[in-house]
Amino acid sequence: MHAAKFCKDDRESCDFDRAIDLTGNGKFHYELKLVCCLSSLSVGFQNGLSSYIFGPARCELGITSGELGLLNVAFLVGGIGSCFVWGILADNRGRKKILIFTHLLNAVINVLCSIVPYKNVLTLCRFFSGFLIGAPGTLTYTYIVEFHQQRKQFRNVCLCGIFFVLSWLLLPILAYAILPLEFSYNAKNVVALSPWRLFLLVLTAPDVLVGFWLMRLPESPKFWLAKGQQKKALAILQRMYAANKGVPRDGFPVKHIVGEGGANVKGNEIMVTGKTLRVLKELLQQIQKLFQKPLVIKTGLTTGLMFSNMFGLFGLGIWLPELFIKFNQYQSLHPNSTVTVKELSTLNLERNQTCEHSIDQNVVINTVATGSCALIFNIICCLLASKVSSKRITLVLSFVGGLSAGSIYWLQTATQNLIVACIFQSTTLTANLTATSVVVEAFPASVGGIAICLAVCVGRFGAVFSSAAFAYFMDNHCEIPIFMVAFFGVLASLLCMMLPNQEKRVECDRGELEQRHFGFFTRKQSYEIATISHKIVDSNCIYRQ
């Protein structure tokens, strides 16, 4: 049995969850949420901008179809390559430092990308952008939840998710406003400026804002606790308490925090000569922990979950806009007729190959419609967060997403495609965000950064494999990738079902306490145990003072 953790009468000694609850909810947490939401918005911009800049960039720079495919792959490969680096650095150097560094450096990379008139530079920039944005793409969620109680973590992940989805709404609107502009500037093939480059510069603004704003905020207190730095963790909690309550810092009642597992966690610094070798040693040590008991089962299930989810999201999800265009083109050529997706995929419809920077209004409307549905789903998940676990929400969303993916094979009209696309994008995109919460909640803080980065890394492999499958099969055997997405959607729901439930303890009053232990102690003994030793031998109950 486990000893439940709670505060003493004088509240000088608490477990982390209770201590952070005592800091309250006010100015500090509002600022934290805002900066993390902007970080999530920036990540969404970087993931979705390729659909809008590659068309005009292709015309301006003379990019071939093969080179255009390389641009798409470069971003994904950069994200895969960065996962373990940011995870280990975050677990050993801190979440805040990594987030500041990657946001600001990504802004520099995108500014360079927007002014240098060479296609090779564009490919390198997309690779490094994928490499850098992989950090806030995972660590932002880790950072925000470690400032909240466990019961509030999922709600805050959903809040960040709303801004990630919001970016997919803003992208087509910004593109519709900026890309049709007519201007061009090229200074001796050194500096260039055009509408798509201006579009890229505008999307860089959140990176700059978040990077400098994070300098105002502290490191995660849970990170310092996991490193055995009690004083630093307490100092941050005192700062939170003072900002939220409007009182002096020394008024915070907690003087000692019990670490994970009921004891102080000691630092695990590795004394190795040379920075590179030390980082590699730390990386191997952290990954090794994930594949040892008791974490190995959770590691397998969470990585499988992310692979399955991202296989559909970045395969079928990216192909859906192309399907919008094909349905609209077919119905404009053949009014009042229907066509199956399989028949449509084999048709060679005429595409506009001019270099006009116009945006199809129907595509914008369809994109905004799917994004709006996803946003609504996300808001609903936020409202359900306090009543339903992230595991259950992810399970249901994954299953519905898998079924909707399979149904695409039988679509016959553009309207049917839009309805199913809204369902698929909403469930799969929201499931991607809630799955992130599942991973964060499943692992202790000492390996939380590397765990989420490993899961996302495996998920990005799923995205690459899915993109390859759609590129290879869609023209002749579209049913293969479509039903693969359906299979992985159902598989994701099964993996969620197999994940062990998080241990949850509820508060008990004195009467409940006495009733629970009546078979072992008398009522008087039970009361004395609670008031003198301040420990209850019960895995499901926290004694409420």
Q: How far is CA 489 from CA 95, 386, 397, 496, in A?
A: 31, 25, 9, 11
Residue in this structure with the two tokens 């979705």, named with its chain if needed: 48
Q: How high is the mean pLDDT of the chain?
A: 77
CA distance 97 to 99: 6
Question: Token digits for 216?
Answer: 């105002």
pLDDT interval class at 9 (50, 70, 90): very low
Instruction: Find the helix packing angle between 414-442 and 119-145, rounded to 10°.
Output: 60
Q: Tell me if residue 534 falls in helix, strand or coil.
A: coil
CA distance 255 to 230: 9
CA distance 155 to 384: 8
Residues facing 257 on adjacent strands = 14
Contact 495, 459 (CB under 8 A): no
DSSP tally for the chain: helices H, then strands E: 21, 6
Q: How far is CA 493 from CA 158, 479, 499, in A?
A: 19, 21, 10
Contact 404, 313 (CB under 8 A): no
**More confident site: 74 or 187:** 74
Per-residue model confidence (pLDDT) at position 113: 86
pLDDT interval class at 260 (50, 70, 90): low
Contact 106, 133 (CB under 8 A): yes
Per-residue model confidence (pLDDT) at position 50: 77
Out of 171-185, 197-211, 330-344, 457-471, least confident range? 330-344
pLDDT score of 304 more than 60? yes
Locate CATH 1.20.1250.20 in the chain. Answer: 13-232+272-498
pLDDT score of 509 more than 50? no
Contact 21, 148 (CB under 8 A): no
Q: Read off the pLDDT of residues 218-231 as tens digits, 9 standing for 90 and up.
A: 998 988 888 888 88
pLDDT score of 335 more than 60? yes
Its pTM surpasses 0.75: no
Residues facing 256 on adjacent strands = 13
Average pLDDT over residues 194-214: 92
CA distance 299 to 291: 7
Per-residue model confidence (pLDDT) at position 96: 92
Question: What percentage of the chain has pLDDT greater than the value 70?
Answer: 79
pLDDT interval class at 168 (50, 70, 90): confident
CA distance 499 to 78: 30
Per-residue model confidence (pLDDT) at position 537: 33
pLDDT score of 257 more than 50? yes
Per CATH, is 13-232+272-498 categorized as 3.40.50.620?
no
Question: Strand 256-258 relative to strand 13-15: parallel, antiparallel, unpaired?
Answer: parallel
CA distance 145 to 161: 13
Question: Token digits for 331?
Answer: 């119905």
Task: Write the CB contacts of 330 (distance below 8 Å, at least 6 apart in sequence).
Answer: 339, 344, 347, 349
Average pLDDT over residues 196-207: 92
pLDDT score of 533 more than 80? no
The answer for 292, left when phi > 0, alpha when psi is -120 to 50, beta otherwise, is beta
CA distance 457 to 463: 10
Q: Read off the pLDDT of residues 50-88 as tens digits, 9 standing for 90 and up.
A: 777 777 877 777 777 567 667 777 888 888 877 777 877
Q: 246: exposed, middle or buried (C-beta count within 10 Å: 0-12, 13-18, 19+)?
A: exposed
